[in-house]
Structure 1
Amino acid sequence: MKKGLLILFVLLLSFLGIYFYSSRVTKKTNGVILLSENTGDISGYYVWEKELDAKGLKAIIKPERSVLEKYPDYFKKLADKGYEIATGYGEAPFWEMPYEEQYKIMKEYKEYAEKITGKPIKIFSSKYFAYDENTLKAADALGIPYILARGSGIKAAIYSPEEYKTKLISVSNLVFEDMGSGSLCDASLFQRGSTADDFKKVLDDSFNEKPRDLVLVSHVYIGGTRKGWWDAYASALVSEKVQWRNFDSWVGRAEELKMPYSEIPYNTEVKYVVPKPAVPLEELELIPDLKTKESITVFHNGKGPMCLEFIEFAKTLDFPVEQHLDTEEKFYETLESYKSKFPKSQGVSESFGYYPIIFLNNKAYSGFNEEIKKEILKDIGGDK
């Protein structure tokens, strides 16, 4: 009898020990990354892609329609790798927009993105992550599972309105007192005059709040290109307080709140729409991978008359020339990463229409002629 009581006592102590240990172990925040781009510069996407691939992670990728149109092959590649491609309408918020107009926009954007990626579009958003009941009705009719919604706090959540199949992903949000609220992202702080150090502190403070679920956003033209801002994100990616997950995995673990549509929190506050950065973006330090090399970088096919003329010209230069032939395995991918930094080219074509395509000192040339030759010589000091 005494032996049985002793065994029972030991088992009870073991159970209590496990219970108290488990209760003291803090669960990590369930986090997902959302990468947005609306400027046409996708160099930040390449930086993020490289880092996330190395960590075995995949983000939600949300390019504006114009960016998707400009780089369709790149976004198809991301979709094929398992990144969740979302689409969004950045021209205006959907608040109080008629159903017919919302439906038409969503249908067109969805079909266009699916044609490019070959994958179903699961996520849609409008400007400011705005939505109303018409948005849910249209998404339901089009079979779009999720709408990104403007959140009301650092905690993200999935709201499931009882009247619809489509669900709302309430994105993590910050409050800036008299400057209103904004998403947990680089642009929210940068445009309000905050620094990269301020942003890192905001991220640390947000993680310390231990939200159950979190959506961290980056506008990649900032967070994927500027050193201080990228360092803040790189630090966040290795935080012991957040378990970063791919979209489907995040959704499977996120808190889902089912309720009537009328009871779902609704945030339409937009107080701050005129960007006032403390330092202009172009004055911020680029991350090392994006800094201009002290060399001429040229992409060509080695055949056309302008390419052959450039090759002969390059032989006369006492200056490093990095040449890429179109037979290289990653020729087009590398070329696109360079082109993404320039809205247009100079020289024979303004739309990168001719080889060779030459990059030097923050300039891009397409084609080759005497005028381009003179510009190159002037830039490298060879015209003296």
Structure 2
Amino acid sequence: MFFEELKLPYYLLTVSFLFFMGVGSLLYKLTRKSELKAFVLIVVGLALCSISILYGWRYIAIGYGGIDASAYKIIFNKIDPESLYSILELRVEKGYGTLMWVVKSLGLPIHAFNFIFSFILTSIIFYVVILLPTTLFSLISVLLFSILYIDSFNISRMIIAIFILFVAAQKLKRLKYFQSFALSLLAASFQMVGGWGIVFILYTWAKGKIGNNFKFFLFYLISVVSAFLIVNVFKFILVFIGYGYYVVDEVSFSLLNYIFCAYLYFIYYFFISRDDTYHISTSSNIVFQLLPTMAFSLPLYMAVPIAYRFNYIYMLFFFFVIAEVLKWSTKKLKERKYAIFFIGFLPPLIYSFLKLYAYFERDVYSAQIWLLDRSLFFW
């Protein structure tokens, strides 16, 4: 059929996401007049609806709509809209399952569910993008966000959970532990990686409680070593909840993200945080301070393949602070501190290029098999 053959290029969504989210958020931040702010929000709102329609009304069948689209369609179709108990029988996190059940109970199709989910996800991302530093380099961050925007259903659930964690992290700055904990539970209800917010809370609490930097550093090292011992407990939990097939004895892993994390924290701790002439944004400062918690995921990642999901938390954190590092680096260039400029400017650019290259070499091909479902025109 014509509508089933109508291609839905991933590039269309990527460019739209980049343009409206990036430029729209920058205009919103720079605008002082309330009338113009309202106009920008209306334009962005229309853009969000358009992107969500394209995301929601995609053709879902075996081999189309994402690598796990058919599986999630089956899950949605099996939901009994007249029984809340059916939520407990779903093999997805209960917050995500509840949203599915509510949409199904309203008599709406899976495409409507995908639209609603996409709109929520994109709205949260718009909020996060507004927090980016006011610089053109922020468009690089938005582009990096956008390459993960359309992937598998599982990845999209991870993204929304991680950005809810990002909001939870903002609460930690004001020591609002209960609110941060509640948001972490909400994030975990969409995807289990949201539970990592507990690590953020404990890390921030311990840092404030200990106070002394040297004592906290020793505590941090002991905690990281202890994390390796906890891996066996985590394996047992996986087996107990039915995810035992994720546990293997040997697994290959990449340390690129961990190396880049160490680099970012090095730049932050020894340079940016000590630069009295540079004003770092509050949100970037929060993210930088949480980067050391990535070390706690290393033993899991080395032993349990499913722990790759925790990498996505920090990848999105990296994408956020890259703009800040590049902005600070250009300031060093203006000050003619060329060595510091290259140290701060080149690694983030190289990392960004590697992520984009890896995407367009591999993941983009699965995105190119997305089609526009004809039910959009006849619903």
Q: TM-score range by the shorter chain?
A: under 0.3
Higher helix share: 2
- Greater relative contact order (CA < 8 Å, ≥ 6 in sequence): 2
Higher strand share: 1
User: What TM-score comes out, normalization by structure 1 length?
Assistant: 0.25
Q: Which has the larger radius of gyration?
A: 1
